[in-house]
Amino acid sequence: MQRRVFLSAVASAMLASGLISAPAFAATKIIDTDLVIVGGGLSGVAAAAEATDKGLKPVLLEKLSILGGAGNFPEGSLGIGTRYQKEHGIHWDVQRTVNRFLEFNHYRTNPNVIRQLIAESGSTIDWVVDKGVEIRGIRTIMPEEESFHCWHLFKGGASTVIAKLAESAKAKGATILMETPAKKLIMQNGQVAGVEAVNSKTGETVIVRAKKVILATGGFAANPGMIQQYVPDSSDPSVSEPIWLRSALVDGRTGDGINMAMRVGGATAGMSQVVGNAPYLPDRPPINQFNGEDWLKQGRCALAQPWLWIDRNGERFFNESRGSVFTEVYAAMTAAGGIMYNILDQAKFDQLMATGPLIPFNAIVTVGTPLKALPKTFEEGMKRGWAFKADTIEDLALQIGVPYENLKATMEKVNEYAKTGVDTEFGRKKEHIAAFDMEKGPYYALKGIRTYFLTLGGIKINRRFEALNGQGDAIPNLYMAGADMGGLFMDTDDIKVEGATSSFALTSGRLAARYAMEAIGHKM
């Protein structure tokens, strides 16, 4: 039911009932519904599609003019026991995945929630496929022998998932209000009773009175103040920044859901954790290295190749063979001062152009794809201050600002390892150790910084995805989904359980919707 009224006619009644907080002069729209979902990203549209599948007609509020949020960018999601895996003879079981997740997080997680998210991950992938999304394969960014073979890549990426789920929800009666950010939760008698939102185009206040509210606003990766407050790794802003989805201005993930829940007593957990991602070229916005022009994508790929990674001192700090395991790289770079340089000589440059990378950049630039755009990468990168070319090692060291003696000694050590085939410092794979020509330039360097995909901390939940207060009691009628959930990750994302965060977003949206419907007695 929807009603459009002018505040002057209803202001006193609504103010008296506590439904709105302050006098306003624009029109006010009132909507009554069973379920309102705040945020139209992966978890929000999944919640809406699940609810409509089960016969409910929810309202979904999205702050921006496009649906999807960060959910437009994943290449794929975790699924255990999917039809696709069965058809392709891939066997992996839920228990092993749960065990791995618990161990990785040193048991500082919510096992009851994690078990549900992993156990349902397969049926979520099947459900998405039933909505019309195609799986284009299972890939891994782990060294092959370590892979769980669970990262299902969506044809067209996860933006197709967003489109199909939204289409399904709309067709089955969901109301989707775009450019309508929720501003606060409405409380009545200590219970959540809906949300107050604003149509950002017209200024109209939108009051959604609902039996249940799901907050799915994507965490706070795009809120610099919260990042500085909660994420110690980002204390030096010059070496770490979020992957802005389009630009710093149009990334909706500003912590709204978490803040709204905190204002009604929600307790947080894991707020310092982010899904770190490194190395990235210091080019803004970093998202362009993910889905922008080839010279940027290939530049990002070249940056992570197993040549020679050095820190500010010109010394190695990591096993370059694991350059695609981006959360490990983030952690190692954090410890090493936040930046790195990858050093190449002409032979390595030519090899990348002729036969392509040795390790992949996600599923974006795959092994063996010739990096034909590399000259343009360097042409642009030299103008932008993150690519360097020099005739001598000394000049390269000068350009990148590391001690020449250290750089030279580090390169000589690599040349020793190339002779023996054994990297005694970091265990780089034999096939990744290539000697440098110490006499003849040119030499090249690419600079890398740390970025992060998303935040992992949020509001604590119970096994029914209800938000909890500081005493551990459920806040009546309030549910959390996606990156607004807290207490699941004690450190970063475990990318061995590949595609977990997008999978958890989808499945948490579905489960939160189911629990909310069950609680209002909706027959499913």
Ligand X SMILES: Cc1cc2nc3c(=O)[nH]c(=O)nc-3n(C[C@H](O)[C@H](O)[C@H](O)COP(=O)(O)OP(=O)(O)OC[C@H]3O[C@@H](n4cnc5c(N)ncnc54)[C@H](O)[C@@H]3O)c2cc1C
Provide the token pair at 340. Answer: 């790195």
Which of 37, 64, 128, 231 binds ligand X (CB under 6 A)? It is 64
62 touches ligand X by CB under 6 A: yes
Among candidate residues 492, 104, 482, the one with its CA nearest the CA of residue 278:
492
Among candidate residues 232, 260, 357, the one with its CA nearest the CA of residue 301:
357
Q: Among residue numbers 164 through 183, which ones bind ligand X (CB under 6 A)?
A: 181-182
Query: What backbone phi and psi angles, to 5 degrees, belong to 464?
Result: -100, 15
Q: Output the smallest distance, CB 469 to ligand X, in A.
A: 21
290 touches ligand X by CB under 6 A: yes
Contact window for ligand X (CB under 6 A) among 19-27, 74-82, 167-175, 441-449: 74-82
Query: What backbone phi and psi angles, to 5 degrees, belong to 407?
Result: -60, -45
Which of 74, 266, 276, 338 binds ligand X (CB under 6 A)? It is 74
- What is the biggest distance separating any 2 CA atoms in the chain, rounded to whole angstroms? 85
Q: Among residue numbers 404 through 463, which ones bind ligand X (CB under 6 A)?
A: 453-454
- Look up tokens 């958890």; give the residue: 504
Q: Residue 399 burial (CB < 10 Å; 0-12/13-18/19+)? A: middle
338 touches ligand X by CB under 6 A: no
41 touches ligand X by CB under 6 A: yes
378 touches ligand X by CB under 6 A: no
Among candidate residues 119, 113, 82, the one with its CA nearest the CA of residue 97:
119
Which of 216, 310, 332, 445 binds ligand X (CB under 6 A)? It is 216
Distance CA 65, CA 202 (A): 13
What SS3 class is residue 192? strand
Q: Which is nearer to ligand X, 75 or 120 (CB)?
A: 75
Cβ-closest position to ligand X: 41
217 touches ligand X by CB under 6 A: yes
Q: Output the smallest distance, CB 312 to ligand X, in A.
A: 27
Distance CA 402, CA 382 (A): 17
Q: Which is nearer to ligand X, 73 or 417 (CB)?
A: 73
Among candidate residues 312, 325, 257, 264, the one with its CA nearest the CA of residue 445:
312
Q: How many other CB atoms are found less than 10 A from the CB of residue 377? A: 26
Q: Output the smallest distance, CB 416 to ligand X, in A.
A: 38
327 touches ligand X by CB under 6 A: no
Residues sharing a CB contact under 8 Å with residue 210, sequence separation 6 or more, in sequence order: 32, 33, 34, 35, 36, 59, 193, 194, 195, 477
Q: Which is nearer to ligand X, 209 or 432 (CB)?
A: 209
Which of 20, 39, 407, 457 binds ligand X (CB under 6 A)? It is 39
58 touches ligand X by CB under 6 A: no
Which of 7, 36, 37, 38 binds ligand X (CB under 6 A)? It is 38
326 touches ligand X by CB under 6 A: no
Which of 28, 33, 43, 507 binds ligand X (CB under 6 A)? It is 43
Residues sharing a CB contact under 8 Å with residue 40, sequence separation 6 or more, in sequence order: 48, 60, 61, 62, 67, 68, 69, 166, 176, 178
Q: At 100, which helix (H) or strand (E)?
A: helix 94-104
483 touches ligand X by CB under 6 A: yes
356 touches ligand X by CB under 6 A: no
What SS3 class is residue 433? coil
Q: Output the smallest distance, CB 291 to ligand X, in A.
A: 8
Contact window for ligand X (CB under 6 A) among 36-44, 168-176, 296-304, 431-439: 36-44
Contact window for ligand X (CB under 6 A) among 27-35, 64-72, 167-175, 263-271: 64-72
Distance CA 136, CA 386 (A): 34
Provide the token pair at 59. Answer: 């309202």
Could you tell me how many residues of this chain bind ligand X (CB under 6 A)? Answer: 41
DSSP 346: H
SS3 content of the chain, % helix, strand, coil (to 5): 40, 25, 40
70 touches ligand X by CB under 6 A: yes
256 touches ligand X by CB under 6 A: yes
Q: Output the smallest distance, CB 65 to ligand X, in A.
A: 10
Q: Which is nearer to ligand X, 436 or 452 (CB)?
A: 452
Q: Output the smallest distance, CB 324 to ligand X, in A.
A: 13
Residues sharing a CB contact under 8 Å with residue 69, sequence separation 6 or more, in sequence order: 39, 40, 41, 42, 218, 245, 252, 253
What SS3 class is residue 239? helix
Contact window for ligand X (CB under 6 A) among 22-30, 75-83, 227-235, 261-269: 75-83
122 touches ligand X by CB under 6 A: no
Q: Output the smallest distance, CB 506 to ligand X, in A.
A: 8
Q: Output the smallest distance, CB 158 to ligand X, in A.
A: 7
218 touches ligand X by CB under 6 A: yes
Which of 194, 482, 486, 487 binds ligand X (CB under 6 A)? It is 482
Contact window for ligand X (CB under 6 A) among 3-11, 65-73, 318-326, 438-446: 65-73
Q: Output the smallest distance, CB 473 to ligand X, in A.
A: 24
Q: Are the beta carbons of 456 and 360 closer than 8 angstroms?
A: no
Q: 14 to each of 9, 38, 474, how far by Cα in Å?
A: 10, 22, 26
Q: Which is nearer to ligand X, 74 or 314 (CB)?
A: 74
Residues interacting with ligand X, by CB under 6 A?
Answer: 38-44, 61-64, 68-71, 73-77, 181-182, 216-218, 243, 252-253, 256, 287, 290, 453-454, 482-483, 499-503, 505
